[in-house]
A = this chain, B = another copy of it.
């Protein structure tokens, strides 16, 4: 295919430099000139190899997102196979969701932690093309996991499960995207913050407990919430 020997090198170096810079400054604030300068290539190379800045961003995300989500589905597949016809335990399902992210963060080839931060930030990006892209990337995977959780938690209404899955994705992406700004919350040294393995080992029990939490009472009001709500205090 690509005839020249050094041809793919340029593409790869652009992608790598773009990943680091997108993660450091976000999509809008990262200029093509800074990317090409960091990659040591000509400015026009981006539009030549990728067509546009948007497509470059999609390529950066896809390169790591596709294998990670595929691995998630694979792990879930195997768990279901091993479970025979019975429901897979919540722990196993959740592990299938978290472990590929952990593996990615560990992978020394990649700027793993950097990418997960970039991904976490992309979740909150309002740019339509980013939102559309992520929706497409995640649609099938999320559907599979929702079905698996529904089997494992038969007492949980479907809508409640949807919400809890939403909360899980929230805590996960926010935690991964967390930079040093909110370091003060965790009182952690930067080295520890970057250690995603410990992070996920703490996150898993937290999420698991939330997933198995008793149903909220939505008909009548929760005592604590309304006790505070009816209060006159306006200061």
Band of interface residues on A? 35 or more
Which chain A residues numbered 178 to 220 have a C-beta less than 8 Å away from chain B?
178-182, 184-188, 198-216, 218
Is A131 engaged at the interface, CB distance under 8 Å to the other chain?
yes
Given A181-B134, A222-B201; A123-B124 close (CB under 8 Å): yes
Oligomer: number of copies: 2
Is A1 engaged at the interface, CB distance under 8 Å to the other chain?
no
Q: Mark A95-114, 1 if CB is under 8 A from B, else 0.
A: 11011001100000000000
Complex interface: chain B residues within 8 A of A165 (CB): 185-186
Given A209-B210, A229-B99; A171-B179 close (CB under 8 Å): no
Is A225 engaged at the interface, CB distance under 8 Å to the other chain?
yes
Other than the given A124-B174, A166-B175, 16 more pairs (CB < 8 A) read: A23-B126, A25-B126, A26-B127, A78-B231, A92-B228, A123-B124, A131-B180, A142-B185, A159-B188, A165-B186, A167-B206, A169-B174, A200-B225, A204-B216, A204-B222, A207-B210
A-B contact pairs, 16 of them (CB 8 A): A25-B127, A26-B127, A29-B126, A102-B229, A123-B174, A158-B187, A159-B187, A167-B207, A169-B185, A170-B171, A170-B174, A201-B222, A204-B216, A206-B210, A206-B211, A209-B212
